[in-house]
């Protein structure tokens, strides 16, 4: 894990191979949306987050999940969410809460063509490939336009189209606080335009929370 001014961001040195699974055992491949959470914002806005590991240990960013885009009404699974100790340690760098990871898998595992180990390896691969602007991991609060933030993403991620990103905010009395960024993918891991149901909820200018 890379430490930046006592703030945790995901490491860029982890590369894990995605293993194909038997298509007969799982749902058909689908498009995906990865949700990147702004941890300081969530920890300050929602008291229920305050005692979670990502808040207590000062994470800057957190992946809440890689969500399949499917018409299925039920994506639950009873298959095991257990990871090896080594993989669990690697995944904790971007998804630190064990119980949250288990609940995520139970809720979406029935709609992805992989088992839990492969699913979390895929998330690691996607997070490893996505570079994030420095503004998202600073100690101080920053006010920035969404267009500028998007342009910064595109500059450091040449393969990323601008319409593959969606920004989500929570309005407070004093500012519109950036709470998450959604990134859209094809089944093969390539970026794609986000579908119409994945929307921006931010105004033109947002605040990136740097302390909590």
Question: Which pLDDT does position 30 carry in this prediction?
Answer: 79
Percentage of the chain exceeding pLDDT 90: 77
Could you tell me if residue 22 is inside a domain?
Answer: no
**pLDDT surpasses 70 at 37:** yes
Alpha-carbon gap, residue 107 to 124, rounded angstroms: 19
Could you tell me if residue 152 is inside a domain?
Answer: yes
Q: Assign residue 123 the CATH number of its domain.
A: 3.90.730.10
What is the β-pairing status of strands 61-69 and 142-145?
unpaired
Q: Percent helix, strand, coil in the chain (nearest 5)?
A: 30, 25, 45
**pLDDT surpasses 70 at 4:** no
Could you tell me if residue 114 is inside a domain?
Answer: yes
Could you tell me if residue 15 is inside a domain?
Answer: no
Question: Which pLDDT does position 28 carry in this prediction?
Answer: 63
Average pLDDT, the chain: 87
pLDDT of 50-108, one tens digit each? 888 899 888 999 999 999 999 888 999 999 999 999 999 999 999 999 999 999 999 99
What is the β-pairing status of strands 176-185 and 165-171?
antiparallel
* Domain that includes residue 194, residue range: 2-9+28-208
Instruction: Give the pLDDT band (50/70/90) at residue 48.
Output: confident
Instruction: Give the pLDDT band (50/70/90) at residue 29.
Output: low
Alpha-carbon gap, residue 176 to 168, rounded angstroms: 10
Would you say 74 and 110 are in contact if contact means Cβ atoms under 8 Å apart?
yes
Instruction: Give the pLDDT band (50/70/90) at residue 212.
Output: low
Could you tell me if residue 17 is inside a domain?
Answer: no
Question: Which pLDDT does position 52 carry in this prediction?
Answer: 87
Question: Which pLDDT does position 92 carry in this prediction?
Answer: 95
| Domain tally, the chain | 1
Question: Which pLDDT does position 15 carry in this prediction?
Answer: 30
Cα torsion 134, 88, 54, 104: sign: positive
**pLDDT surpasses 50 at 204:** yes
């Amino acid at each position: 894990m890379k430490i930046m001014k006592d703030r945790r961001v995901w490491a860029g040195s982890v590369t894990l191979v995605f293993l194909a699974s038997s298509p007969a055992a799982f749902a058909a491949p689908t498009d995906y949306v990865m949700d990147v959470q702004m941890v300081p914002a969530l920890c300050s806005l929602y008291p229920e987050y305050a005692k979670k590991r990502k808040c207590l240990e000062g994470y800057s960013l957190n992946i809440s999940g890689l969500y399949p885009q499917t018409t299925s009404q039920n994506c639950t699974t009873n298959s095991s969410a257990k990871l090896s100790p080594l993989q669990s340690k690697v995944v904790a760098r971007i998804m630190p809460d064990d119980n949250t990871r288990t609940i995520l898998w139970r809720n979406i595992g029935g709609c992805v063509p992989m088992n839990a180990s492969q699913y979390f390896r895929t998330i690691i691969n996607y997070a490893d490939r996505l570079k994030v602007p420095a503004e998202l991991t600073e100690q101080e609060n920053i006010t920035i336009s969404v267009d500028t933030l998007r342009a910064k993403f595109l500059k450091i991620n040449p393969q990323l189209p601008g319409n593959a990103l969606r920004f989500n905010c929570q309005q407070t009395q004093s500012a519109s606080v950036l709470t998450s960024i959604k990134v859209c993918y094809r089944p093969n891991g390539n970026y794609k335009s986000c579908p119409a149901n994945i929307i921006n909820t931010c105004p033109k200018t947002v605040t990136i929370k740097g302390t909590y």
